[in-house]
Amino acid sequence: MAGRFEGNHPSGSGSGGGPPTVWVTSQQAHVAFFVRSHSRPRSSVTSNVMGMTTSASVPAGPEGAIVGTVTDRLVDANEQYAAAFTDPGMDARPVLRVAVVACMDARLDLHAALGLELGDCHTIRNAGGVVTDDVIRSLTISQRALGTRSVVLIHHTGCGLESLTEEFRHDLEMEVGQRPAWAVEAFRDVDQDVRQSMQRVRTSPFLLHTDDVRGFVFDVKTGLLREIDPA
Ligand SMILES: [Zn+2]
């Protein structure tokens, strides 16, 4: 039932140059405005807000223009996506036989940065791009059930994990009364953390292919990858 009113909808993904984009959806007779937070400039958004949704609201911008649920916006976008979608008839096995393990950082567009197309690779992401047991689980399935052979690890500059310590766990325990089973995997030296990640992949007994494992640091300012020597 989402009614759409789009002032200046960009044809592609959000780019910086154009005027602010406003999404409007109707939800239970309320109207909510979504202001693309990535769009710049963020000024001169005029809105006519009649009501607000109550959960998972996008924070109001400096303009005071409001908000709705971000999930509504995603669902709305999906309707457009599906309307133009045709089944590409792909196999689940990645075309390039590669699995990419990367940080979840919002500034890292893996497909664009690596020239990847839909169907080319597995992408496994978490906070830090850390090779945890669960990443090994995914890599094992990727290799043994879905035919990948190469592993690419990508950390990046300015990672949030550089500003955390294992004290994070302690503080959590103090707050909620339960110590998390997982490590924070905070780090100070991103190069060293990439090396450790490569080592964890190479020494995993579960993986079939550990000869082509390479690690990189993505520079969020330049978009360039810098390869890390495993030694
Ligand atoms: Zn990160």
Gap between the Cα atoms of 90 and 39, Å rounded = 34
Whether 36 and 132 map to the same domain: the answer is no
Asked if residue 135 is part of any domain, the answer here is: yes
Where a domain ends, among 57, 83, 109?
83
Whether 191 and 220 map to the same domain: the answer is yes
DSSP labels for the chain? ------SS--SSS--SSS---EEEEEETTEEEEEE-TT-S--------------SSBPPP-TT-----BHHHHHHHHHHHHHHT-------SS-TT-EEEEEE--TT--HHHHHT--TTSEEEEEETT----HHHHHHHHHHHHTT---EEEEEEETT-GGGG--THHHHHHHHHHS---SS-----S-HHHHHHHHHHHHHT-TT-S--SSEEEEEE-TTT--EEEEP--
Number of domains in the chain: 2
Asked if residue 17 is part of any domain, the answer here is: no
C-alpha distances in Å from residue 220, one per residue of 65, 149, 193: 29, 27, 17
Please state the separation of Cα 40 from the chain's center in Å.
21
Whether 65 and 115 map to the same domain: the answer is no
What does the pLDDT average to over 160-188? Answer: 91
Residues of the domain holding 106? 98-228
What does the pLDDT average to over 98-125? Answer: 97
Whether 222 and 120 map to the same domain: the answer is yes
User: What's the confidence (pLDDT) of residue 110?
Assistant: 97
pTM listed for this prediction: 0.72
Asked if residue 13 is part of any domain, the answer here is: no
Whether 103 and 66 map to the same domain: the answer is no
Distance 21 CA to ligand 1 centre (A): 28
Beta partners for 227?
A: 216
User: What's the confidence (pLDDT) of residue 230?
Assistant: 87
Residue 34 CB partners (closer than 8 Å, separation 6+): 22, 23, 24, 25, 58, 67, 68, 70, 73
User: What's the confidence (pLDDT) of residue 12?
Assistant: 40
Place of tokens 């995603």: 74
Q: Mean pLDDT score of the chain, rounded to an integer?
A: 80
Confidence of residue 128 (pLDDT cuts 50, 70, 90): very high
Distance 48 CA to ligand 1 centre (A): 37
The domain that holds 145 is classified in CATH as 3.40.1050.10
Distance 89 CA to ligand 1 centre (A): 33
Asked if residue 119 is part of any domain, the answer here is: yes
Look at residue 112 and tell me whether its pLDDT is greater than 90. Answer: yes
Distance 183 CA to ligand 1 centre (A): 15
Whether 124 and 203 map to the same domain: the answer is yes
Whether 125 and 187 map to the same domain: the answer is yes
> Does 222 or 231 have the greater pLDDT score?
222
Confidence of residue 155 (pLDDT cuts 50, 70, 90): very high
Whether 173 and 69 map to the same domain: the answer is no
Of 34-38, 75-79, 81-85, 189-193, minimum mean pLDDT range = 34-38
Distance 26 CA to ligand 1 centre (A): 35
Asked if residue 104 is part of any domain, the answer here is: yes
Whether 169 and 79 map to the same domain: the answer is no
Q: What is the pLDDT of residues 48-100, one digit of tens each?
A: 333 343 445 555 545 545 567 999 999 999 999 999 999 989 999 999 999 99
Asked if residue 12 is part of any domain, the answer here is: no
Q: What percent of the chain has pLDDT over 70?
A: 71
Asked if residue 5 is part of any domain, the answer here is: no
What does the pLDDT average to over 151-171? Answer: 93
Whether 114 and 75 map to the same domain: the answer is no
What does the pLDDT average to over 151-174? Answer: 93
User: What's the confidence (pLDDT) of residue 221?
Assistant: 97
Whether 111 and 213 map to the same domain: the answer is yes
Asked if residue 188 is part of any domain, the answer here is: yes
Whether 34 and 142 map to the same domain: the answer is no
Distance 153 CA to ligand 1 centre (A): 12
What does the pLDDT average to over 120-146? Answer: 97
